[in-house]
Amino acid sequence: MNFSELQQDALKEVFNIGISKATQQVSSLVRDDIVINVSNISLISQAEVLKKIRFREEEPVICVAQSFSGDLLGDISLFFTDDESKKLIASLIGASEEKESDITQLEPTAVLELGNIIISGTLATLEMIFESKLQAKMPVYADGECQNKIIDENKPVFFIKSVLHATSRNVAGAIFLQLRTSSIEAIQNMIDAKFLDSAGEV
Amino acid sequence: MDILVIDDSKTARLLLKAHFPKDKPYNILEASDMKSALAAAQTSQPLVIFIDYNLPGTNGIKIAEALIEQGNQSKYVLMTANLQDFILEETKRVGFVGVLSKPVSTEAIVKLLEEITK
């Protein structure tokens, strides 16, 4: 990957700003403080993405993914384990543990809504900072084998991960930005033009 | 007038520096983590310290607390896009004089610096 250290740093910073802004709304919805941790950037195969999104082996995973096109081509995906997703939904609707059947019934729409808030908010920030046009498709919800429905293992992606941790409920989710390799040059140009040129580093 | 910028992102530090008004004699110092922040603040005693919230292994609130414990008397500004209530409450508790929303703008920095230095 021909990304300079400063370009990687800039993309992490933008992604971090996007997640931070989007998480603010979710924090008030679930009535919890959310701590964010953005990891390093890497260019990996989608098969490796599958390994990275497994929090714990053999545990069911819930995910919401939203593809985007326009000046950049990629996906943002949000993953929770099934158990963590249920805890989040309970806090969202104010349900007690006794109402687990209600939570299970509501899970797809509620997780879709939460995911949509985080993903759309992040995309909006990317669009605003890079002064670019990104068209988001409808979010997709999946459980069980959700990774396989969303990810094509044969294609490499540019990958950045952020972990969101709702502190009082000890619920963690992960959000991934995957950029198609065809968009790498485009985003490098955007970073140089919008970030590093103005800072006098290019 | 010394100003210290603490952010693990070099891009964020560069951008903040680029947005400072050029007609004022600010001497901008930089730090990227707790250790370098404590050392820089002790050496220069800056008037204002701009601190990022999300930092590897720590956060801007904890760094400000460490600086205060070290005897530093600078004024603190938190830089973040993360405006959750618990963070804003922490800034008040610790005594930050302002919060600068990321991405930063020249207008916001100028306004903050005017308020701090008047």
Q: Which residue has the higher pLDDT, A16 or B77?
A: B77
Contact A134, A123 (CB under 8 A): yes
Residue B110 has pLDDT above 90, yes or no: yes
CA distance B32 to chain A (A): 13
Residue A68 has pLDDT above 80, yes or no: yes
Chain B residues with CB inside 8 Å of A13's CB? 9, 11-12
Contact B27, B2 (CB under 8 A): yes
Across the interface, whether the CB atoms of B85 and A12 are under 8 A apart is answered no
Predicted confidence (pLDDT) per residue in A106-115, tens digit: 778 888 888 8
**What residue in B sits closest to A162 (Cα-Cα)?**
B54
Chain B residues with CB inside 8 Å of A198's CB? 15, 18
Across the interface, whether the CB atoms of A24 and B84 are under 8 A apart is answered yes
Q: Which of A77-81, A144-148, A195-199, B97-101 is predicted with the least confidence, judged by mean pLDDT?
A: A144-148
Q: Which residue from A161, A163, A36 is spatially nearest to B60, judged by alpha carbons?
A: A36
Q: What is the ipTM of this complex?
A: 0.85
The pLDDT of residue A134 = 93
Residue A42 φ then ψ, to 5°: -150, 155
CA distance B18 to chain A (A): 5
Contact A172, A164 (CB under 8 A): yes
Residue A80 DSSP label: E
Q: What angle do CA A96, A61, A182 make, to 5 degrees?
A: 135
Contact A20, B81 (CB under 8 A): yes
**What residue in A sits closest to B102 (Cα-Cα)?**
A17
CA of residue B81 relative to chain centroid, distance: 14
Q: Which residue has the higher pLDDT, B100 or A167?
A: B100
Average pLDDT over residues B37-63: 94
Contact B70, B4 (CB under 8 A): no
Residue A55 φ then ψ, to 5°: -75, -50
A81 C-beta neighbours (distance < 10 Å), count = 19
Q: Which residue has the higher pLDDT, A57 or A31?
A: A31
Give the three-state DSSP class for B81. Answer: coil
Number of CB pairs < 8 Å for A and B?
A: 59
Confidence of residue A147 (pLDDT cuts 50, 70, 90): low
The pLDDT of residue A202 = 47
* Letter string b/e over residues A51-77, b meaning 16 or more CB atoms within 10 A of that residue's CB: eebeeeeeeebbbbbbbbeebbbbbbb
On average, the pLDDT of chain B sits at 93
**What residue in B sits closest to A32 (Cα-Cα)?**
B86
Residue A97 has pLDDT above 70, yes or no: no
Question: Rounded distance, CA B65 to CA A43, Å?
Answer: 38
The pLDDT of residue A159 = 75
The pLDDT of residue A103 = 72
Question: Rounded distance, CA A134 to CA B28, Å?
Answer: 36
Across the interface, whether the CB atoms of A9 and B10 are under 8 A apart is answered yes
pTM above 0.90, yes or no: no
Residue type, A42: S
Instruction: Check the CA dihedral A114-A115-A116-A122 and report its sign.
Output: positive
